[in-house]
A and B are shown apart, each in its own frame.
Chain A
Amino acid sequence: MSTAVSFEEQLRPGHGDGSLGAAVARLRTQDPKWLLVEEGFTLTREHEVESLFAIANGHVGNRGSLAEGSPLSAPATFVAGVFRQLETPGAIPELMVLPDWTAVRISIDNQPLTIDHGEILEHRRILDLRCGMLWREWRHRDPCGRITRVTAVRLASLSDRHLLLHSITLTAENYSSVVRFESSLEVDEGTSVLAPDWKVRASSGRPNVLPLAVRVPGRETTVAFGVTSLILSSTDVPGKRVVALDPHRITEHCDIQLEVGSECQLHRLIAVFSSRESSRPFECAMEHLRGVMPAGMPAAASAHASEWQARWRKADLRVEGDDALQQALRFAAYHLIASANPNDGHVSIGARALTGAAYKGHVFWDTEIYMLPFYIFTCPRAARSLLEYRYHMLEAARNKARSFGFRGAMFPWESADNGEEVTPRAVIAPSGEVFEILNGEMEVHITADIAFAFWQYWQATADDDFILQAGAEVILECARFWASRGSLEADGDFHIRHVIGPDEYHENVDDNAYTNLMAAWNLRQAAAMAGILEQRWPDHWRDLARRLELSPEELDTWSKLADCVFTGFNPETRLFEQFRGYFEKQQINLNDYEPRTAAMDVVLGHGRIQQTNIVKQADVVLATYLLWDEIDPAVRAANFHYYEPRTGHGSSLSPAIHALIAARIGEAQLAQGYLKQASEIDLGNNMGNAAGGVHAAALGGLWQAVVFGFAGLGTRPDGISFAPNLLAHWSRLSFPLEWRGSQLSISIEPGAIRVEVAGSAGLKLQVDGGPTIQAEPEREYVAERAMPGWKPWQAIAR
């Protein structure tokens, strides 16, 4: 049963000088290097555009859909951590698509204004990367010849993560008519939740804040929206506003009489709270809006833009001499900033972040290995919250290990809101083949990846508090898993069998080199960390060891096992065999298959590719990157040169890592090619695969490729090092970096490296294989290139 309540009020003529809209417009960035622009309208690209132009703040994400819709619009709003679980057999948790708060239909004399009826005179969407705002400019001649100009902006506030803003300005260029804005926010009838005071609110004379909530299927979660709107018109004729409320829908329409050349504005503020943050999400949403309304939209937008600019000051990676790459890097950083919430340690970033429903919002190793370094070095608090998510899921990881007969923590290959394994068990490909999905059981390297990420965070931040509270436990439990997952066999080696490595073209293999190398690292580092804890925080260590029932013998076993892990390394060839039997696989020359339009597993088929030596993505090569300082330079180069021509790059994660390593070992041409490929994964307009959301890990990989590859950044216990490999057409590469509380500004030119140090602590600066200096806070240093090598670092007076 629905109870509809409607009321009308006469709108007073507003301040049609556009003051409110103009206040927001003043924030808009003019520099084209900060703008991603989609000119015109290509229907078939719409889903991609919606993903690329998504706005988000780590809590709420919204696709860049047209407000009025099109034949191919897929608007979606997501709240991080809000997963639904349907009751259908085989259903797995999926990030829930929430009510679309951006839907606004415009009618002129009862004729809907839509992009596919009439003539588009101008249309562009502009993502202002610097301010985190999505603009739309649309000028349209409808079938009756009326020309309407629409300018719209929306944002998900970075300064107030519960707040969303949507503003539309309409100008009647050549007609006088009644213009109607109709907005609605609705939920399925079965999932609506009534506000506690809904009846009172609905019957009030003028409900200026409208409530709506949805109950998440399969979860005890409620998401509540509060909506308030403001209409301004430049005409003297009063308008009319009608609101209809029922338990599952808010519909609001406003009729305004416009004269030729006059304009009207619709401004909407939306607050979103879920029962994850508050036991009273309705009240929170309502109260939040009431708190925001007095200062209004300009203040909210201004605070949001300021927050974005503050984030950019710590994250803007600049490449001078390559505009396309510059845009791709800013696009990457924009989405990475928009994906994380430093204030919520119970959510992580899904494969497509908050930009699309593909991958169901599931969290993979992508976050720890590909995205996390960006946060560690630009916003450590966000990195910490991402790691907190894993810590909060530790018990589920322990349960998974137990269920497989192992000890410690076995993290899920795919994770949602409760840390359980949520990898689908099978998929039907369009070829009709049914593939059993073994990753949840066999792609166990994620456990070492997570341990590695905790360690990497600790090394770069010296956040002892976090490692004591959470990180140590995770690293130790991961090591314990490895000790039970493999076995010391008769040959004296520790083998880890029946796994899938990053090269997912080869399933159920023994001794995947990446897995084993990372497992060995985990075992060794856990034992070493136990020693550090015992020495520096003996009381804490005693408590932890007692709680985890860790004995000195067990720790000693880990060290010994680490030394026995079979790595498939051949000292003569300097190669790691990717897994047992890899070298015997059918040799395929990938060049014979070029050009091709699809991934190699599509070209050859799922079964056939397993019989070949084609590698899906960086596997051994990735291990050489992560364990760089532990692997001899000649070994790194030999493995790159061996595996690179055998890699099909069937994963979006692959090109960036290849660019990174190629840059580090001086393969400039390869590095440039892979960097370009990595930068086009989402932005290439003939790829199509961004339709379900951006590739968040590839974006993180792109950042890493430039910072760790082309700048050659290395981290050491006492400081950082550089081994620059700038491309020939780059005149400068510069970026900010946070390291152990110091804020660094780094600028690399072909002839010099400059580092500005701010903060309270110093650090050691080093050029790889060259001079070292102990840098002091509030100083600037430069190392100039000599031929060959580098001159000593010099302090520059500031």
Chain B
Amino acid sequence: MMATSAKITSASRPALQSARWIENILLALDEQTPCRTAVPIACRLSELYGATLHVTHVGLLALDPREIPARLGFTAQQRHGAVFNQAKGDRAHAVMQLAQELVEPLVVMSTHTGQPGGKDRFGSVTESVLATRPARIVLLSPDRRQKEWKLRRILLAHDGTPASHAATAPAADLAQRAGAEVIALHVAARGRERPREPGSMPAPLYIDQPQHEWPAWADEFMNRMLAAGAPPSAIEFKLTVTSGRPGSEISELARERSVDLVVMAWHGHWEHQTCATRVVIQTSGCPVLLLYSADE
């Protein structure tokens, strides 16, 4: 709908430097079974990124690193190329310490890593790691169990704010590596004020004529997402819009469309029970990649 322009080309977007995107996968595990749901995801992500898999044991009892693969149930194939170590002292601190030492790390862990928290709380290590607001983290609910994980469909949750663009390139990059498709979901939110960030593009408040407004809005939404998010140009996004509470809408679509990974920008909030991030992690039925983006 927007005027065609020779100035909008994929070539003019900054090229994503894929090789530097993720170089290390940091998988935090304790010896509890629920944690192990993260193993196939971390292994597959390590393959997709060509990244080194670092497995750090954060259980209460210290293990000899040589014992860790067997104690944590790694198959021979999964052990290949992985680095195992034992976290010492404050487990969460140790995870983040290692994350800081690694180049371009991606933390992967179950929501139930560490001591069980109270009702509606994540495990103690997970909570502590989240509190440090890691730049990138994949979280998944233990409900998933240790099923094989294939990445065929990615759901990019985008609230239309410039901060959300942080998730666009990572979603597209992963899709390109895995040959997956990307659904970009925008939820017209109830119970939320319109975002104040300049450049925000939530669903329209005025739809004077839907026959014109929707195509124009969709074009503009995608234009901004592609220009600011700078994803690889080969990836196509399928935009869809729903309305309601963002967390439950994202989860519902993820389940409906058998999504394998939800990718979303994250402002560092997860504590509140109705927080969209928490709801998605708990109810989407798939791993969630959070990309930290500070509040504007």
Which residues of A are interface residues toward B (Cβ below 8 A)?
42-47, 63, 65, 69-76, 97, 100, 116, 351, 356-360, 362, 364, 423-424, 426-432, 435, 437, 439, 504, 593, 595-599, 601-606, 649-653, 681, 685-689, 691-692, 695, 697
Contacts and interface: CB of A to CB of B under 8 A. Distances in A.
B192 A595 contact: yes
B223 to A, nearest CB: 6
B20 interface: no
B202 A597 contact: yes
A430 B240 contact: yes
Interface of B: 1-5, 7-8, 12-14, 160, 162, 165, 186, 188-218, 220-221, 223-224, 227-228, 230, 239-244
A689 B220 CA distance: 9
B248 to A, nearest CB: 14
Contact of B214 (A430, A603, A651): A430
Contacts of A652: 206, 208
A75 B2 CA distance: 9
B5 A599 contact: no
Contacts of B212: 351, 358-360, 362, 424
B187 to A, nearest CB: 9
A441 to B, nearest CB: 13
Contacts of B192: 595-597
Identify the 9 closest CB pairs spanning chains A and B, nearest first: A44-B199, A598-B188, A69-B7, A76-B3, A598-B203, A430-B241, A72-B227, A688-B201, A652-B206
Secondary structure class of chain A's binding surface, majority of residues = loop
Contacts of B210: 427, 429, 435, 437, 601, 606
Given A43-B228, A74-B8, A601-B207, A688 B243 contact: no
23 contacts: A42-B162, A42-B199, A69-B5, A69-B12, A73-B7, A97-B3, A351-B208, A359-B209, A437-B211, A504-B209, A595-B192, A595-B194, A596-B190, A597-B189, A597-B192, A598-B189, A602-B188, A603-B244, A681-B206, A685-B199, A687-B205, A688-B217, A697-B208
A461 B216 CA distance: 38
A649 B208 CA distance: 10
A693 to B, nearest CB: 9
Contact of B227 (A71, A431, A604): A71
Nearest to B222: A430
Most chain A CB within 10 A, of B197, B199, B201, B205, is at B205
Contacts of A42: 162, 198-199
Contacts of A605: 243
Contact of A651 (B5, B202, B206): B206
Given A603-B188, A691-B220, A43 B199 contact: yes
Most chain A CB within 10 A, of B12, B206, B223, B230, is at B206
A36 to B, nearest CB: 15
B3 A357 contact: yes
Nearest to A92: B211
B83 to A, nearest CB: 38
Contacts of A364: 209
A424 B202 CA distance: 24
B204 A689 contact: yes
A651 B208 contact: yes
A556 to B, nearest CB: 38
Given A72-B224, A439-B209, A652-B208, A689 B242 contact: no
A356 B4 CA distance: 11
A109 B7 CA distance: 22
Nearest to A94: B1
Contacts of B1: 357-358, 692
Given A44-B227, A47-B223, A697-B208, 9 more contacts: A73-B5, A74-B7, A75-B3, A430-B239, A596-B190, A597-B193, A601-B207, A688-B217, A692-B216
A357 B2 contact: yes
B5 A45 contact: no
Contacts of B203: 597-599, 602
A689 B201 CA distance: 8
B93 to A, nearest CB: 37
B106 to A, nearest CB: 26
Contacts of B201: 44, 688, 691
Contact of B243 (A46, A423, A602, A651): A602
B215 A356 contact: no
A599 B194 CA distance: 11
A545 B293 CA distance: 71
